[in-house]
Structure 1
Amino acid sequence: MTQALFSPLRSGATPIRTRSLAARLTRAMILGGMLLVSACGLPRSGPTKGQILSSSVTKGGTTHIVNVDDRVNRAASYTPAYGFSADFRAASTVAADDIRPGDVLGLSIWENVDDGLLASMGSSSTQLTELQVDSQGYIFVPYAGRVLAAGNSPEELRRIITQKLETQTPDPQVMVTRVAGDGATVSVMGKVNSQGVYPIERPTRTLSAMLSRSGGVTIEPEIAVITVKRGNSSGKVWLRDLYSSARNDIALRPGDVILVEEDERSFTALGALGGQTKVPLGNEQINAIEAVAMVGGLSTSLADPKGVFVLREEPQTVARAVLGRGDIHGNQRVAYVLDLTKPDGMFLARDFIIRDGDTVYVTEAPFVQWRKTLQSILGTAAEVGSANSAFE
C-alpha cells in the first residue's frame, strides 16, 4: 500500500493537490496585487485634478480655486512692470563743473611783482597741483587759508581765492582746474565690458551715456535688465526700454550703483506636458497657451485638457478683484483652472498672462490611472503565472 501511494511521485507526475494549491496562490497574489495598487496608489506626475480641487478654501484648504473666464482674465491681468519711480525721474542732471569732496584741483597763481608771496625767485607764477577737497569740502591755499571749494564751480572758486590773495599781493591772477572728478562718481557692475568707478562728467551725466562709457553690455540686449541703486531706493528698467523712452534715461547722482544683469524671471512647468522644467520669461508677455507650447504642449497620452492649472500667489489688491471680495487680507494662494475643452477655452487660455514665479501644472486624464492600474494587475498576474509554471 505504501508503494502504491507514492508511485506517482516516482513517475514524475504532479499531484492534483499541488496544482490546486498553485492556482489558489495565483488568485491570492492577483487579489493581493489589486489591493496593494488601490491602497498605495500608482506613480504619477503629481496630484490629480480632484486632489487640487479638494484643497479649496471652501473645503477647509488654503487655496482659492478660480475658474478662468473673461472677468477673471481682466482682474488678473496685473503684471509688475520695471521702471523708475518719480523721484528718480525728477532728479536733475548733475552740474559737471560743481566741485565736491574728494575732487582733485589744480591752482595756477600769477603775481604782478618780481618777488611775490608764493612765486620762487625769478618766477612770477606758482603751480599748486593735486589739491584734494577734504570731506568737509575745503582746500588749503597758502596766504588764503582754508577755502570752501565744495559747491562752487572752478570759476566761482577762482574769484574767492583771488579776493583772499589780493589783500596781500597786488592784482593776483588765479586759474582753477578740476583735475579729477572723484567726488562725483558712480559704480558700474555686472554684465558690462568694463566694470569700474566712473566720474560723472559732462558727457556721462545720464544712465545711457554712462553705460556707453563702460563699454556697453555683454549679454543680449533683449534680456538685459539695468538696476540703479540710489541710497535706500532702487529702480529697474529693460535695456530696450531705456533706449526706446527718454524718460527712462535718468540723470545720475553721485554714489549711484548701476548693475547690469540677465533677467531671471521664469515660470515652472510640471505635470502631463511635453517637458517639465523651469522656463525663462524674457521681456515679452507670455500667455498660458504659449507657456504650454514652450515645453512641448500637452502630452497626448497623459494630459487632461480640463485640468490645466496656473498656481500663483496673488497680492491683496489682485486677489480681491479676482475673488470679488473685500475681506481678503494679505497675499493669497490661487489656483486658476483652464478648461481647454470649452468652446472658448483656448481663447481664455490665450488671454491669461503668465507671471514670474507661476507654476503651470497639467493633471493626468482619469483613464490614465485606470490604464496604469490594469497594467500593474496584468503585470502582477504574468509574474505569478511565471512563478506558477516553476511549480509544475
Structure 2
Amino acid sequence: MQSQNGARALTRNFDRGARALALLAAVSMVASCGLPRSGPNKREIYASSVIKGGDAFIVDVTPQIARIASQQTTFGFSKAFQSAGLIGPDTISPGDRLAVTVYENVKDDPLLGATGQRASPLPEMLVDGQGYIFIPYAGRIKAAGQTPEGLRQAITRKLEDQTPDPQVAVIRLAGEGSSVSIAGSVAASGVYPIEPNTRTLGGMLARAGGVSIDPATALVRVTRNGVTGKIWLNDLWQNPNLDIALRPGDKIVIEEDKRKFTSLGATGQSIVPFKSSNLSAVEAIATVGGLQTNSADPTGVFVFRNESAKVANAVLGRNDLTGEQRMVYVLNLTEPSGIFEARDFLIRDGDTLYVTEAPYVQWTKTLAALTGATGTASNIANTADSLNGN
C-alpha cells in the first residue's frame, strides 16, 4: 500500500515538473515569437554602442555632460543694431512728402508767386530716393536726414539772395519715408510711420497691437540694409538693451518657433513643438503626459541626437572626431540626482526622447498571450468534444 502511495506521489511530482517545463518552454516560445512592444529595450540600445561595434556613443548624463550638451543657439542683435541712436521724431527720410510755403516781402513782382501775392505754397513734393527735393530758384536741396527746421533754413539761405527777407515754412506730411513694415504673427500687420512713441522696436510692436501667438514661442526678426538680427520676444521685454532704435525701411517679422522633438516608447507617442525658448528633459517628459506608470522604466530615459563634432569631442573627452556623431544620452530618474540632471539637460530641435518599457512588461505580455492561447485551445477542445457527442 505504501509503495502504491509513493508511486502516486512520484507520478504527481513528475507531472508537476513536466507541466513546469512545458510552461517554461511555452513562455520561451511565445517570447521568441516577438510580442508587440514600443521599441528596443535597454540591453538592445546599449548593444548599439560604439564600444560594442555599433555606431552610437552612449553617455550617462552627469552635471558636467548636461552643461556641455545643453548648449542652445543664441539670438541677438549685432553692435550695428544696438549702437544706432534714436532718430529725431521729425527727421526727414526718402519717400517722405513735404509741404513748403515761401512768404516774400514784395508785392509787385514776387519771385515765386503772382503779382500781389506774398505767400507762395509750392506743390506737395516727394523726397526722392537720394534724399533730395527741388525748389524753384533754389535748385536741388538735400532734405533726407534733416528736420523741417533745418530744411527751412537751407531753403531760406538759397533764396535770400534772390528775394528780400524770404520766410519759409516746411511741414513734414504723413508719408512712407520714415516708416517700417511689420508682418507675420502680429495683431495688425502693415506699414507704420516712425513717430515719437514708435521709434523703438518695443514701441512699434505695441503700435501694431502686439503678437498673435504665445509670447513664449515668438521670435522677432529685424532686417536692415540686408542684415538680419533675431531675438526671442520674451528677451525683448526682459532686456532693455534689445529694444533697438528703428530706422526707415526696417522690416520686422514675428514668427513662431518651429523647433520640435519626437517622443517615443513608454510615454506619449508624438511630434511635439517646443513650448518655450529652453525646454529641459523633465519639461519634455511632462509635456507628453509623463512616464506611463504601468509600463515605463524610469532608469531607461534616452535622448537620441546627432551632435556636432565639437560638442561630441567635449562630451567624450576626445579631439579626434570629425563630422556629426550619433549620441545617446541616458537619464536615470531613480538616482538621487537624476531629476536634477534631467532638469538641467536641455532638449534641442530634432531630438528623440525615448523611454524603455520596464522589464516585467514583456513577461506580463507573455503570460497574457499564454493565457489567451490556453483559453483558445480549451474552447477548441470543448467544441470538438461536443461535435463528437462526448
Q: Per the shorter chain, which TM-score range?
A: 0.7 to 0.9
Q: Which residue of 2 aligns with 1:255?
A: 249
In the TM superposition, what is the alpha-carbon distance from 1:44 to its structure 2 partner? 1.4
Q: Which residue of 2 aligns with 1:23?
A: none
Does residue 136 of structure 1 match 2:136?
A: no
Q: Which residue of 2 aligns with 1:20?
A: none
With over 3 angstroms needed to count, the CA separation of the structure-2 counterparts of 1:60 and 1:216, relative to structure 1, is same
In the TM superposition, what is the alpha-carbon distance from 1:107 to its structure 2 partner? 0.6
Equivalent residue of 1:62, what SS? coil
Show structure 2 runs of 5+ residues with no match: 1-22, 386-390
Work out the number of aligned pairs and report it.
Answer: 362
Task: Tell me the percent identity.
Answer: 53
Paired with 2:104 and 2:372, the residues of 1 have a C-alpha distance of 108
Paired with 1:93 and 1:203, the residues of 2 have a C-alpha distance of 11
With over 3 angstroms needed to count, the CA separation of the structure-2 counterparts of 1:79 and 1:374, relative to structure 1, is same
With over 3 angstroms needed to count, the CA separation of the structure-2 counterparts of 1:130 and 1:53, relative to structure 1, is farther
Q: Which residue of 1 aligns with 2:388?
A: none
Match of 1:188 among 182, 193, 202: 182
Does residue 102 of structure 1 match 2:95?
A: yes
Does residue 293 of structure 1 match 2:286?
A: yes
In the TM superposition, what is the alpha-carbon distance from 1:207 to its structure 2 partner? 0.6
Deviates more, 1:244-253 or 1:363-372: 363-372
Paired with 1:257 and 1:389, the residues of 2 have a C-alpha distance of 80
Q: Which residue of 2 aligns with 1:49?
A: 42
Q: Which residue of 2 aligns with 1:370?
A: 363
Paired with 1:376 and 1:106, the residues of 2 have a C-alpha distance of 89
Equivalent residue of 1:158, what SS? helix
Paired with 1:183 and 1:331, the residues of 2 have a C-alpha distance of 48
Q: Which residue of 1 aligns with 2:76?
A: 83
Paired with 2:225 and 2:54, the residues of 1 have a C-alpha distance of 42
Deviates more, 1:150-159 or 1:306-315: 150-159
In the TM superposition, what is the alpha-carbon distance from 1:108 to its structure 2 partner? 0.6
Q: Please list the CA deviations of residues 265-314 of structure 1 after superposition, one character each: whole Å capped at 9, or x if unmatched.
A: 443322112x3334444336443334323433322321222211012233
Paired with 1:384 and 1:232, the residues of 2 have a C-alpha distance of 75
Q: Which residue of 1 aligns with 2:354?
A: 361
One-letter amino acid matched to 1:142? P
Runs of 4+ deviating beyond 6 Å: 30-36
Equivalent residue of 2:124, what SS? strand
With over 3 angstroms needed to count, the CA separation of the structure-2 counterparts of 1:377 and 1:127, relative to structure 1, is same
Does residue 210 of structure 1 match 2:179?
A: no
Q: Please list the CA deviations of residues 149-173 of structure 1 after superposition, one character each: whole Å capped at 9, or x if unmatched.
A: 2333333332332233233322222
**Aligned-pair Cα RMSD in Å:** 2.9
Q: Is the 8 A contact 1:108 1:127 kept in 2?
A: yes
In the TM superposition, what is the alpha-carbon distance from 1:53 to its structure 2 partner? 2.3
Q: Is the 8 A contact 1:225 1:263 kept in 2?
A: yes
Q: Please list the CA deviations of residues 85-118 of structure 1 after superposition, one character each: whole Å capped at 9, or x if unmatched.
A: 3332222223443332211111110111112121
TM-score (norm: length of structure 1): 0.81
Equivalent residue of 1:198, what SS? strand
Does residue 156 of structure 1 match 2:150?
A: yes
Does residue 272 of structure 1 match 2:277?
A: no
With over 3 angstroms needed to count, the CA separation of the structure-2 counterparts of 1:68 and 1:141, relative to structure 1, is same
One-letter amino acid matched to 1:144? A
Q: Which residue of 1 aligns with 2:195?
A: 201
Q: Which residue of 2 aligns with 1:93?
A: 86
Paired with 2:317 and 2:24, the residues of 1 have a C-alpha distance of 51
With over 3 angstroms needed to count, the CA separation of the structure-2 counterparts of 1:233 and 1:163, relative to structure 1, is closer
Deviates more, 1:217-226 or 1:39-48: 217-226
Deviates more, 1:286-295 or 1:199-208: 286-295
With over 3 angstroms needed to count, the CA separation of the structure-2 counterparts of 1:164 and 1:350, relative to structure 1, is closer
Paired with 1:50 and 1:151, the residues of 2 have a C-alpha distance of 70
Show structure 1 runs of 5+ residues with no match: 1-29
Paired with 1:249 and 1:88, the residues of 2 have a C-alpha distance of 10
Match of 1:172 among 166, 172, 194: 166
Deviates more, 1:232-241 or 1:189-198: 232-241
Q: Please list the CA deviations of residues 178-236 of structure 1 after superposition, one character each: whole Å capped at 9, or x if unmatched.
A: 11342222111233332110122333211111112222334454444322233443333
Paired with 1:238 and 1:148, the residues of 2 have a C-alpha distance of 39
Paired with 2:226 and 2:161, the residues of 1 have a C-alpha distance of 47
Q: Which residue of 2 aligns with 1:317?
A: 310
Q: Which residue of 2 aligns with 1:11?
A: none
Paired with 1:224 and 1:389, the residues of 2 have a C-alpha distance of 67
Q: Is the 8 A contact 1:181 1:200 kept in 2?
A: no
Q: Which residue of 1 aligns with 2:9?
A: none
Paired with 2:339 and 2:106, the residues of 1 have a C-alpha distance of 92
Equivalent residue of 1:43, what SS? coil
Q: Which residue of 1 aligns with 2:119?
A: 125
One-letter amino acid matched to 1:133? V
Q: Which residue of 1 aligns with 2:7?
A: none
Equivalent residue of 1:89, what SS? helix
In the TM superposition, what is the alpha-carbon distance from 1:361 to its structure 2 partner? 1.0
Equivalent residue of 1:251, what SS? coil
Q: Is the 8 A contact 2:304 2:351 kept in 1?
A: yes
One-letter amino acid matched to 1:322? V
Paired with 1:331 and 1:234, the residues of 2 have a C-alpha distance of 27
